[in-house]
Each structure stands twice: as structure tokens, then as C-alpha cells.
Amino acid sequence: MATHGVKKPFCTRIDRAEWIDRRLAELYPETPVPLDHKDAYTLLLAVLLSAQCTDKRVNLVTPALFRLAATPAEMAQRTVKEIDAIVRPCGLAPRKAQAIRELSRLLIEHHEGAVPASFAELEALPGVGHKTASVVMAQAFGVPAFPVDTHIHRLAQRWKLTNGKNVQQTEADLKKLFPREHWNALHLRIIFYGRQHCSAHACDGTVCEICRTVVPTRKRALVTKK
């Protein structure tokens, strides 16, 4: 097994993080945004729809949604029923549809129709939690952020970068371990790697290259904490 210059053993989280950072950059030098969008507003809606839904399905749904309305002013004029008819395949409807219409109205009312570039203002919008706000801040505005979804949370546990108590703790731990200027690309690289090599079906903590390299002594499947 190739170790790509790794010095064993990995005694600390920092050792593991440094190697993971380098290896993921080698594997994924380019970090395209997985969700199709044309601006901060369409990205915000796509990220909102991605909750408990795959990016692939969201990308199948959003073209019709953006034909219906591609700006807050246009969306605020649509009914929840019209929006729901399009976004229903993404799940959690009509709650997502209601959030899309209401946040569009609030963007007009409080932000002159623009998506705000601050965590606090984003998280005040309906349907927008910290993870969604982090994605928008990172990918639309280039502000360093480390969005942590369930999959990144699980991979961080498998790679012994966190104790896995919750996603909030995992985000804090990852921010301490990796350089701030790497966060935006790195969270995408972890997503890409997880989908290709370290999914729940493909790896149990003992199979993929990173798991085998950073925790070489693990012999049994790892049960991760949600």
C-alpha cells in the first residue's frame, strides 16, 4: 500500500490532519461546487433543498425551480403550492417550499433583494441553519468556513480527528486542526473522497486508503456516532 511519504505512526490528531490535508489536495486539486447555481441566491436555495437529499437530485430539480423564479422578487410572487410542486422530489416538502418563499420575501424586505454575507443574517432566514449558512459563506462569498454534514462528521470520526460527540464539536475540532485558508476547499475534498471511497457502504473504517493509512492498527469495523 502506498503511503505517499507518510511518516508512521500517527501519534496525534495534528499528524493525521496534516497527511490527510496533503493527500486530499493531491487527489482533488480542483474543487468545483457540487450544486448547480448562478449566484448567491440560487446557491442558497440549492443548499436549502439539499438537506436530507442528494446533490444529484437537487441538480435535477433546480432548473425547473429557477425557470419558475430565479430572483427573490420573482419567487416572492409565487405560491407555496407552485414551489412545492417542483421541489417535492427533494423531500421535506412543503416545509422547504414555505421556507423558500418566505426567505425570498425577507430578502426583499430586509436586504434589498440580496443574500446577506454574514452568518447571523443568513441563519435568521427561514430554513437556513448553520451548515447551510456556512456553505453559502464559503462558496458564494469566499469567507473561510467549514460546513460539517453527517458524512463529514462520520469521516472525521473514522480518521480520529474528533471524538464524535456532535457536528458542532466536529466543526470546532476540524477548524483547529486545518489551516483557515484550506477550509473552503478541504470540506469539498472530504465530501468528494467520502462519496468515492469512504461511504457507509464502501468503507467501515478499515477499507479505504485514508482509513488504512491514518489508523493502521484498526482491525474491526468502526461504529461511528451520529
CATH number of the structural domain spanning residue 193: 1.10.1670.10
State which residues form the domain around 186: 13-30+146-214
Residue 137: per-residue pLDDT: 98
* Residue where a domain terminates, one of 79, 112, 141: 141
Q: What is the pLDDT of residues 45-56, one digit of tens each?
A: 999 999 999 999
Residue 128: per-residue pLDDT: 97
163 shares its domain with 74: no
Does pLDDT of 1 surpass 50? no
DSSP 43: H
Residue 135: per-residue pLDDT: 97
CA distances in angstroms from 157 to 18, 87, 187, 222, listed in the order given: 16, 33, 15, 9
What is the CATH number for 65? 1.10.340.30
Q: What mean pLDDT do residues 103-111 have? A: 98
Does residue 223 lie in a domain region? no
Least confident of 62-71, 186-195, 200-209: 200-209
49 shares its domain with 121: yes
112-116, long-range: CB within 8 Å, 24+ apart, which pairs? 113/71, 113/72, 113/73, 114/40, 114/41, 115/40, 115/41, 115/44, 115/140
* Residue where a domain terminates, one of 98, 125, 141: 141
Q: What is the mean pLDDT of the chain?
A: 93
Domains in the chain, number: 2
Candidates 7, 15, 38, 131; catalytic one:
131
Residue 36: per-residue pLDDT: 97
CB count, 10 Å around CB of 83?
24
| Amino acid (1-letter code) at residue 60 | L
137 shares its domain with 153: no
Does residue 220 lie in a domain region? no
Would residue 131 show up in a list of annotated catalytic residues for this protein? yes
As to burial, measured by CB atoms within 10 angstroms (0-12 exposed, 13-18 middle, 19+ buried), residue 61 is middle
**How big is the chain, counted in residues?**
226
Candidates 84, 149, 160, 173; catalytic one:
149
85 shares its domain with 158: no
Residue 24 pLDDT grade (very low, low, confident, very high; cuts 50, 70, 90): very high
99 shares its domain with 172: no
